[in-house]
Structures are given as C-alpha cells and as structure tokens.
Amino acid sequence: MSDVLMRFQKLVIASGNAGKVAEFRAYLADLGIELLPKPDNIDVEETGLTFIANAHLKASQVAISTQEWAIADDSGLEVMALNGAPGVLSARYADTDQARIDRVLQELSGVSDREAQFVCAIAISDPTGKIFADAIGTCKGAIAMSPRGEGGFGYDPIFFVPNLQQTFGEIEPEVKAKISHRANALNLLRSKLQNL
C-alpha cells in the first residue's frame, strides 16, 4: 500500500465535525499521512440522495478547492421501523444532537422493532476532483429506549450494540474504533488501496 499512499502524503478531511475529524485521525494515524482540516471557507452542500453520493461530492469539491487530495465521508443512522430515516438527513434531522436523539426516540415511541444501523461511506479524491477510491461500512444495532453514556457524538448514546450490551455512548473509544461503521468503511478502503 505504501506506493499508493505516496500519492497522497497529505489528505484534507472534508468535515467540520470535530468528533469525526478526531476519529479519522485516530484510524489513520499509523499510515503516516498528514491530515489537514477543511478550510472554514469551503462549505459543500450535501445534495446527494445516498451516503456514497454525498461522500463523492464532498471529497471532489474539497479536493478541487484546496488542490490537495481529500478524504470525505457521509454517515448517518438508518432506523428500519422509520423506513431508513433519518438516513442522509441524519445531521439535519433537528438543530442539535439532543434534539435529533429526542426526535428519533419520539418517532419510535411504542414501536417494538428497534433495529437500526449506522452507515458510513468514504471517498478519496485527487486534486482534479476524480474519485480515487471509495467504500461503505455499516454497524448493526438497535435504538435504546433512552440515551445511555456520555461518550461519542451524534446518535451514539441511543445506538445499542446487542453483543456488547452497551450503547456507542458507553463503550470505550478503543472498542468503537474496531467495530464502528467508520472503522469498517476505512478497513474496506484500506483493502481497496492495497489492491490498486
């Protein structure tokens, strides 16, 4: 993989979400890639209808704007009983993390089917805006009856992982880094890069 990685020793992370940026830095720390934050003046409107479409859009536009290689993800929560909502609207489902959590819990009030999954689509673009590689990862779980734990960000306190009997808000960051949708997507991306 080192030959491929020589092409992008720097990657601009196309995200303003501090929690997401921190996770990317942790996941990619061993690759020796310098991760640069997205300039504040670049704002990409997520108009895609799928996670992968939005990841492509963000990676391409940030790469073109910065003239650097860029990595972007689009991720969110899909709740089966809500027909996959909030889905690509996960970050815009309400104005704050707490309001988004409250809305999901309210919409599931009295619903016994709590099956859900986190989805993460990741894309890397070259400075011309051409997508170099992409991957989609998921993590299956369920929606807890109420928030649990102070860790993570976003919907983490209500995303329950049955085999751990904990929410993403309760598990240690090191555990989350191995099982999360973002970790699974990045593992797939690494495999694709190794095979290029």
Contact assessment for residue 55 and residue 72, using Cβ atoms and an 8 Å cutoff:
yes
Could you say which DSSP state residue 30 is in?
G
φ and ψ at residue 119, rounded to 5 degrees: -125, 140
Q: Nearest 5°: phi and psi at 85? A: -70, 155
Residue 156 bears catalytic tag: no
Cis amide leading into 127 (omega within 30): no
Q: What is the dihedral of CA 27, 168, 70, 41, to 10 degrees?
A: -130
Q: Concatenated DSSP letters for 107-145? A: HTTT----EEEEEEEEEEE-TTS-EEEEEEEEEEEEE-S
Token couple for 154: 């976003």
Q: Are 97 and 143 in contact (CB under 8 A)?
A: no
Q: Of 73, 74, 134, 156, which residue is the catalytic one?
A: 74
Write out the catalytic residue numbers: 74
